[in-house]
Amino acid sequence: MNAPAPTDTRSRILDAAERLFTEHGFEGTSMRQITGEANVNLAAANYHFGSKEALLQAVFKRRLEWLNTERLRVLDAMEAAAGDQPLKPSQIVDAFFGTVLRMATRPEHGGETFLRLLGRTLNSPSNMIHTLFAAEYNDVLERFKIALYRALPDVPKAEIVWRLHFMLGATAYAIAGTDALDLVTDWQVSESEQEHSVELLLPRLMSFLLGGLRAPLPAPHHNSEPQ
């Protein structure tokens, strides 16, 4: 039997790492577990990635590159169709946040496995992951902020930035999965209501995010003089 090509070996290692990091977390996964899952030796993993930290970065980088390219593709298409008119806030929110949820239906881009890993990691990022995400997201977020500024001209830019920040947090928590829901509640939630399929989660999350984006502006806060 022919030895696998280096690109095949690299992809198998990435796929195995993605599954195991999702299931056991970064700290709970060893390189030997990953190489065993990928059916490669440890030397091959060290050759391609050098360390477990570099492997985690590579897992995220290959998915985020596609995700952010797709977000910009969707935004570009909508802006071209709108011509000189600003987009609707709902279009912008769907292009950014809806695109990531729809990854769950694209197993070739990580599917539900990567979506869960992304949500869990965003909820407790390390400095390494924070730096990686900043590098991958900065240009994309800037484009979407500008689109929101045009769509909501009566909302102060600082307020839009804050609301986008809140929306990012809500989405990260939502895509982490039902285990995140279990951490904070003894609510009686049926299995059907916990279902995190795109068909159920996407409209629920979009409604919540748009409600926050369109909420009344907070009243100005003035320090009162001591009585």
pLDDT at position 7, please? 59
pLDDT at position 181, please? 42
pLDDT at position 3, please? 46
Torsion angle, alpha carbons of 121, 122, 124, 130, to 10: 100
CATH topology for 1-50 is: Arc Repressor Mutant, subunit A (1.10.10)
Alpha-carbon distance of 35 to 42, in angstroms, equals 6
Alpha-carbon distance of 156 to 153, in angstroms, equals 8
Alpha-carbon distance of 196 to 205, in angstroms, equals 11
Write out residues in the chain with pLDDT < 70, as ranges.
1-7, 125, 177-198, 221-227
pLDDT at position 177, please? 63
Q: Which residues of 85-99 are buried (b: 16+ CB within 10 A; e: fewer)?
A: ebbebbbbbbbbbbb
pLDDT at position 75, please? 97
Please write the tens of the pLDDT for every residue from 171-215: 988 887 644 444 344 545 555 555 556 677 889 999 999 999 999
User: Would you give the DSSP letter of residue 226?
Assistant: P
CATH topology for 60-213 is: Tetracycline Repressor; domain 2 (1.10.357)
Alpha-carbon distance of 140 to 170, in angstroms, equals 19
Q: Where are the domains of the chain?
A: 1-50, 60-213
Q: Which tokens hold the place of 154?
A: 């009566």
pLDDT at position 45, please? 92
Residue 178: CA count within 13 A, CB half-sphere: 12
Contact 211, 111 (CB under 8 A): no
pLDDT at position 225, please? 45
Asked, colleague to colleague, whether 1-50 and 60-213 share their fold, the answer is no
101 Rama sector, left if φ>0, alpha if ψ -120 to 50, beta otherwise: alpha
